[in-house]
Amino acid sequence: MNQLFFFNLVFFVLGTLFGSFLSVVIQRSLKKQKGIFFGKSICPKCRHQLKLLDMLPILSWIFKRGRCSYCGKTISPLYPSLELVSGLLFLTNFNMIATAPGFDFYHGFNTDWIFWIKIILLNLLILSALTVFFSDLQKKAIPNIFLYALIITALPAFLLTGSPPWNAFVERLIALTIALIFFGGQYLLSKGRWLGSGDIYVGAALALLLSWPKLLLALLLSYLIGSLLMIAIMLAGKIKPGQTVPFAPFLILGMLIALYQGNQLIDWYLREILMIF
């Protein structure tokens, strides 16, 4: 088997397993249950303890047609969605670093410890981002532990940039200043009506992770995608004007696009759009 294909498969499966674990952690944290990390897995509807075959990421939900084996009640599609997204992002992280210019994966993967440190840091960051995304999406609430984890995992992001430490530090300082003015200003002007304090934490994490041009791109994409989606949902009659919606998922989505495609999008903008003017 091709070595690169084997590692792609391993990282995808590993990501789905972590996604399955995160789904349990998110539910228990939102419900403030004890044993968040080590409690036994049970059906949220009938409370029956789940067996190993009931917890296979993605596959169990598909084979059981989205229903519990014991009570027959519907299992939310958010569970396999989290598993699938986590698997795909683990796969993306591995390929982004393994195929980076100047790195020879076939000769360096078993000797270059910096390669594995980058993989671990990026995957931890993604897991933290997914907890924020899915908890806010489900309950419009983000437990503080998820916000703290996102900021902590974003702190060493300068190691992923390849920039000299001083340049990376200055870039993050500028980004933090922009985030503070942007989010803090909105919070003060609206007295917390426009966005919650959790969004400010997410904004700080974005600033730590991204350089200031990518931060501006992430914010632009977040508000653009969020606005278009909200208009579509309102036209469909799913929400009413004035009804609050979770915004952290849009910030995380903007962050991911800027993280993976930020350089390409900024280069395209500078080359194609500004040339018009």
Amino acid at site 122: L
Confidence of residue 139 (pLDDT cuts 50, 70, 90): confident
Same domain (yes/no): 175, 257: yes
Residue 122 located in a structural domain: no
Same domain (yes/no): 208, 268: yes
Residue 222 located in a structural domain: yes
Is the pLDDT score of 167 beyond 80? no
Domain that holds residue 175: 142-277
| Whole-number Cα distances in Å, 61 to 47, 52, 55, 222 | 17, 13, 8, 30
Same domain (yes/no): 105, 197: no
Same domain (yes/no): 214, 86: no
| pLDDT (tens digit per residue) in 199-254 | 888 999 999 888 888 999 999 999 999 889 888 888 877 777 666 778 899 999 99
Residue 60 located in a structural domain: yes
Residue 203 located in a structural domain: yes
Among 48-62, 104-118, 255-269, name the one with the lowest average pLDDT. Answer: 104-118
Residue 98 is predicted with a pLDDT of 82
Mean pLDDT in the chain? 84
Distance CA 130, CA 127 (A): 5
Confidence of residue 172 (pLDDT cuts 50, 70, 90): confident
Same domain (yes/no): 219, 267: yes
Distance CA 162, CA 188 (A): 36
Mean pLDDT on 60-81: 87
Confidence of residue 19 (pLDDT cuts 50, 70, 90): very high
Domain count, the chain: 2
